[in-house]
Chains A and B, each alone.
Chain A
Amino acid sequence: MPDPTGPIGRITRCSTQSFTGAVRPSALDLPAFGAFCQAQDQSGQVQVIGVIYDIRIEDDPLARQMAALEDLPSEQLADAQQNRQAPIEFSALTVGYRRAKGYSYSLPPQPPLTLAPVSLLEGEDLLQFTEKASFARLILASLNVPAEQLLAAALRCAVQARPEGERDRYLMLSGRSIARLLAGDLARLEQVLGALRETGG
């Protein structure tokens, strides 16, 4: 297993289908919607791979009271944004996993462990995992996420990870795979393509 590159947070709750992590906003840049991430499962042999579908910042009465002010003191604004919001929660939909034999685009045998570090899937790992657009299957099968928007954002992330000269070809091949998956649901396919166009993919 490769070492995770710089954790973005730690898991607070999870299942085989999704996991939720927490991150301090002051520690690093926030994860983005559609980004791929990974966390180790309970056996220590499997790296569970997810796509971030929700980033949540809760409010409270003090935040609401302060939001209504015309002139919020700068130190209180910094306190609210960097201290009080912690932790920010992000949730990822599981789209596959990796073990010694390679990648699988189905649900893992076990979920990650509580407080397991979550890191972004980047570089060569991201290229390999997204080489096939098979991760789209679990996204499109999920009922609890904005699937079309998420798939478009994930594809965009995979495209951006590739060298400029390979992007159009990758997008075309991925588009074909997704078109096959959604052959019986053209309205949904149009939603994915529309979202891709809007995100510049």
Chain B
Amino acid sequence: MSLDLPKLLPQVQQLSQSLLKQQAQRAQLLERALSAYQGLLALPPEELETRLARVGSRWTGARPAQESLGTSVAPPEPVPDLNVIGADGSQIYPDRHARVFFFLINLAGILIQHDCQSAPETRTESQLFFEPEQLRYESDQPVESAWVNLQRDLGEMMTLADMCEEVHDGAVLALLDNSLLLWMVLQARAAGERELDRILKAYFEAMNRLQTCGAALAGIIDRPRSSNVLALAALANQDVETIGADDSARVPFPGLTDRELFAHLLPEGHRSACFDLISPLNRDFHAVGQGIHFFYLHLPGNQILRVEIPAWVAGDRARLDRVHAGLLRESLSTNGYPYALIRAHELAVVTQAERLMVEEWIGRELATQGMLPTLSRKAFAKTQTSSGRRPR
């Protein structure tokens, strides 16, 4: 134990007091946000459009889609014999201090047919990346965690598309435990534009395949931290003459999220209206017909999920209802999170013990070839000092 407990304990108590104070402040902020949201609902659509037109291109927020803003949609009828596919991925990140520089991606999927007596179909695919061209960017820089995450996210979407194309009977709901916008593209810029374009193209192709085979695709975000609707509400209440390009930096309701807003607005089982997402990255998605929309869903257990869907789901009421009804059905037994995603994660996750096992296998295999790579001095030193005993 190296923590200074006597000094830490008062800080823990201060943390608790601070949270209590923040809670009271947030309640006041939420009152203001709810009032702003009412202002948004009262604003004529053309005036809202005027405001959206004046705001700068870097502004990120929600835009009304086909449905009226104040919509609260009750649970639709369950879809009989619905096929739900969940996909997830996990990884071993490249580590320059390890014996060998490599990375691993583990992808898993599960196909569950509702009201069926037979066990769901599961699959797992593990791939090791070790060739020089897989481990270095064009600039010769070694790949980073963000690049691995990007490849994993692409693999998850491709797994969904592969499994969806194998379903021949019944409607399909395809779920990811993630935003559908490939945010990792923004974090893996070191890979270079050509590589990122290649990844994006493959991602769009997989989305196209899902669209073509009739699936309803959704990305699920639990405990979402976004405030896109709050940003729109703030914009609606702002004097139109003061709106300009610098509004992208405004934080109208600091710390507050859409989740807290919709927890007050949506009855259990209901979903909000669908919104389009205005963001620079989503413009690329819209350009190829894969623009991302979203809604909020109040699940049992007082859970508010953000559900991201492509425009072709938002614009197709049957697919949209399939997402809504399917998520409610999937969350019945799990107190508020889709069963298919819980199982996909369980199948995909690479545990610490498995990571050590893979590293040991690699070490043994190299030894049989007469190679004896070593840990970096830093990594080795950590193995010497992390046994639990902490002398002062």
Contacts and interface: CB of A to CB of B under 8 A. Distances in A.
B333 A78 contact: no
B200 to A, nearest CB: 34
A78 B120 CA distance: 7
Contacts of A84: 343, 346
Contacts of A76: 112, 333, 339
A72 B332 CA distance: 9
Contact of A69 (B110, B333, B346): B333
A73 B339 CA distance: 11
Contacts of A75: 112-120
Contacts of B118: 75, 78
A67 B117 CA distance: 17
A74 B114 CA distance: 8
B211 interface: no
A62 interface: yes
Given A65-B335, A73-B333, A79 B115 contact: no
Given A66-B333, A76-B339, A83 B120 contact: yes
B119 A78 contact: yes
A74 B329 CA distance: 12
Most buried by A among B116, B333, B334, B346: B333
Interface string A80-114: 01111000000000000000000000000000000
A78 to B, nearest CB: 4
A72 B333 contact: yes
Interface string A10-30: 000000000000000010000
Contacts of B119: 26, 75, 78-79, 81-83
Interface centre among A26, A66, A72, A74 (most CB of B within 10 A): A74
B213 interface: no
Interface in B35-85: none
B182 to A, nearest CB: 30
Interface in A137-162: none
A65 B339 CA distance: 12
Of A65, A74, A76, A78, the most chain B CB neighbours within 10 A belong to A76
Nearest to A25: B119
B122 interface: yes
Contacts of B117: 74-75, 78
Interface string A43-67: 0000000000000000000100110
A72 B343 CA distance: 16
Contact of B120 (A62, A72, A79): A79
B347 to A, nearest CB: 9
10 nearest A-B pairs in the assembled complex, by CB-CB distance? A82-B119, A78-B119, A75-B116, A79-B120, A75-B112, A83-B119, A74-B117, A79-B119, A69-B333, A66-B333
Interface of A: 26, 62, 65-66, 69, 72-76, 78-79, 81-84
Given A74-B115, A75-B112, 15 more contacts: A66-B333, A72-B333, A73-B329, A73-B332, A73-B333, A75-B114, A75-B117, A75-B118, A75-B119, A75-B120, A76-B333, A78-B118, A78-B120, A81-B119, A84-B343
